[in-house]
Amino acid sequence: MLILLLVLATSVTRAQDVHFSQFGMSPMMLNPALSGFSSGDIRMYANFRTQWNTVAGSGAYRTFAGGLDAALGKATKYSSFAGLGVSFFSDQAGTAGFQTNRVDVTFAYHFVINKRHNTSLSFGIQGAFNHRGFDPSKSTYDSFYDPSTGTSGNNGTQEQFTRTKVYFGDVGVGAFFSTTVKKRTDLYFGLSFNHLNQPSISFFANGNNNTAADKLYMKTTLHGGVSVPVSDRVWLVASFFVMIQGPAQQYNIGTHVKIQLGNKTNSRTYLSLGLQARIAKGLETPMGDAVIIQTRLDYRAFTLGLSYDVNVSKLRTASSTFGAPEVALMYTITTKHKPRAIFCPFMP
């Protein structure tokens, strides 16, 4: 089991970046072009996710992320503006203590391209410092196995690593477009590229014979959605998320119902309920990975999101379909007398 968890942790983290089911609640991780893109002046958010508790026990995967970004520039009705943000995440995978830590600095510029301030085009760039490491003393290898007795012996480990920690920097870029196509019907699309320099992540100082395995694959992310009113206080929100990184691919598609609570004229309280389906593809054929149950409460400047991944993949025999609970928090501060005049779409 220890070997299995180490292999899973290493292969997953090398092939595909850390990500959240509530991808819209970690905006700078989703797309650098979203830095500072909010109706307020300062935005803070935090995310926590744990996974495979029924399989890995104390070695379950745990991810914590957070960010702070700000809109820069005078908040006039028609003006474009810039965004600057700092974000991070820390991920621990498996019993070998495999850790991935990252800090990003992100800059974006948002062009408001019509006088009704409901259409914008944004571009962003992101620089990151990364750390990866593991503890070999917590791992079990083939060399511990004694074939003469069929049990684990005292052979000691024959695996030798030049280093158990890797530090590297990388760069990402992104673009984001949002508009109101007609009254109360909103549309958005985003595209981002991360790890453009494809840095080396090998634990061997000079790499190994498979140079592709030494590099962090470039990640391409495409996301979008549409919000359509079905009554005065109810919207139907459809969204999608596609992530391609080397041989790993992920496809999310979901639908949410968003309901305005309180007075329909001036209430800023909304409740949304929804489902997503996630399909994963690696070296094998595509397979159903999870059904994601989500709920979200927007109350004035505060947002709380909860989700749970119900595992439907081949691992469900071991996981008993239990997957990953996730909590997301966001708070937006408006320092001016009026909110910044820009349309910000609902992203689950």
pLDDT of 226 > 50? The answer is yes
Share of the chain above pLDDT 90, in %: 51
pLDDT in tens, 239-294: 999 999 998 899 999 999 999 998 877 788 999 999 999 998 875 556 778 899 99
Start-to-end CA span in the chain (Å): 35
Identify whether 136 is part of a domain. no
Residue 185 sits in a domain whose CATH number is 2.40.160.40
**Which pLDDT belongs to residue 138?**
72
Domain housing 176: 9-131+163-333
Identify whether 300 is part of a domain. yes
Mean pLDDT of 38-58: 81
Mean pLDDT of 91-101: 83
User: What's the gap between Cα 303 and its chain centre?
Assistant: 17
> Domains in the chain: how many in total?
1
pLDDT in tens, 292-330: 999 999 998 999 999 999 988 766 565 555 678 999 999
Mean pLDDT of 1-29: 64
**Which pLDDT belongs to residue 267?**
83
User: What's the gap between Cα 39 and its chain centre?
Assistant: 22
Identify whether 45 is part of a domain. yes
pLDDT of 218 > 50? The answer is yes
Identify whether 23 is part of a domain. yes
* Beta-sheet pairing, 219-229 with 61-72: unpaired
Identify whether 170 is part of a domain. yes
Identify whether 154 is part of a domain. no
- Looking at per-residue confidence, does 77 or 147 come out higher? 147
Long-range contacts of 314-320 (CB under 8 A, 24+ apart): 314/287, 315/55, 318/54, 318/55, 319/52, 319/54, 319/55, 320/54
User: What's the gap between Cα 169 and its chain centre?
Assistant: 19
pLDDT of 21 > 60? The answer is yes
pLDDT in tens, 154-209: 555 556 667 888 999 999 999 999 998 887 899 999 999 999 999 988 887 665 54
Identify whether 98 is part of a domain. yes
Identify whether 53 is part of a domain. yes
**Which pLDDT belongs to residue 214?**
79
Please give the Cα distance from 155 to 143 (Å, whole number). Answer: 6
Question: Which has the closest alpha carbon to 332: 60, 3, 71?
Answer: 71
Instruction: Read off the tokens for 287.
Output: 């397979």
In DSSP notation, 91-141 reads EEETTTTEEEEEEEEEEEEEEE-STTS-EEEEEEEEEEEEEEE--GGG---
Q: What's the pLDDT band for 149 if we cut at 50, 70, 90?
A: low
pLDDT in tens, 114-146: 877 788 999 999 999 999 998 877 776 665 566
